[in-house]
C-alpha cells in the first residue's frame, strides 16, 4: 500500500465490487431478491463508477490527511512536545540568536 497506493486502491475497489455482485447473484438465485439482467447490469455499472471514484479520490484524501499531520498550523503552532510555540521570521530569529544568520556576509 505504501509504494503503490493507487494500485492497491483499485484492487480493493474491484474486490468489494465483485463481492457485492456475487452476494446479489446469490440472493437472486435463492429467490430472496428479484432482479433481471438489466437491473444487475445497472448495479454493476453503478459499482464500477463508485469504484473508479474511490480509486481516484481515496488516495488523494489519504495523502492529504497524512500530510496534514506533518505540518505546523499557523493559527496555533506547537513544539513537537505540545508546548505553545511562536513563528518568527528567520531574520528576527537570527537577530535574537535563536537561528543561524540567514544571509551571512562572505
Q: Quick one: 60 and 79 in the same domain?
A: no
Q: Quick one: 44 and 82 in the same domain?
A: no
Q: Quick one: 27 and 11 in the same domain?
A: yes
Domain, as residue range, for 86: 72-101
DSSP state letter for 4: -
CB–CB of 17/51 below 8 Å? yes
Counting residues of the chain whose pLDDT is more than 70, the rounded percentage is 85
Q: Quick one: 89 and 65 in the same domain?
A: no
Q: Quick one: 60 and 96 in the same domain?
A: no
State the average pLDDT for the chain. Answer: 80
48 φ, ψ (degrees, to nearest 5): -65, -45
pLDDT at 81: 87
d(CA 47, CA 29): 20
Question: Where are the alpha helices (H) located in 1-106, listed in sequence order?
Answer: 5-30, 37-68, 90-95
Average pLDDT of the residues in 47-53: 83
Q: Quick one: 13 and 37 in the same domain?
A: yes
| C-alpha cell of residue 35 | 432482479
Q: Quick one: 10 and 39 in the same domain?
A: yes
62 within some domain: yes
pTM score, whole prediction: 0.47
- Give residue for cell 513544539: 79
Q: Quick one: 50 and 19 in the same domain?
A: yes
pLDDT at 94: 86
pLDDT at 5: 61
The yes-or-no verdict on residue 59 having pLDDT over 70 is: yes
Q: Quick one: 50 and 87 in the same domain?
A: no
Q: Quick one: 30 and 50 in the same domain?
A: yes
Tens-digit pLDDT profile for residues 88-98: 888 888 888 88
Size of the chain, expressed as the number of residues it contains? 106
Tens-digit pLDDT profile for residues 30-46: 888 888 889 988 988 89
Amino acid at each position: 500500500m505504501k509504494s503503490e497506493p493507487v494500485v492497491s486502491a483499485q484492487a480493493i475497489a474491484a474486490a468489494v465490487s465483485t463481492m457485492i455482485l456475487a452476494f446479489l447473484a446469490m440472493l437472486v438465485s435463492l429467490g430472496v431478491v428479484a432482479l433481471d439482467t438489466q437491473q444487475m447490469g445497472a448495479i454493476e455499472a453503478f459499482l464500477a463508477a463508485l469504484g473508479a471514484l474511490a480509486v481516484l479520490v481515496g488516495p488523494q484524501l489519504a495523502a492529504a490527511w497524512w500530510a496534514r499531520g506533518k505540518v505546523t498550523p499557523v493559527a496555533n503552532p506547537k513544539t513537537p512536545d505540545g508546548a505553545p510555540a511562536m513563528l518568527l521570521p528567520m531574520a528576527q530569529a537570527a537577530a535574537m540568536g535563536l537561528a543561524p544568520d540567514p544571509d551571512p556576509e562572505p
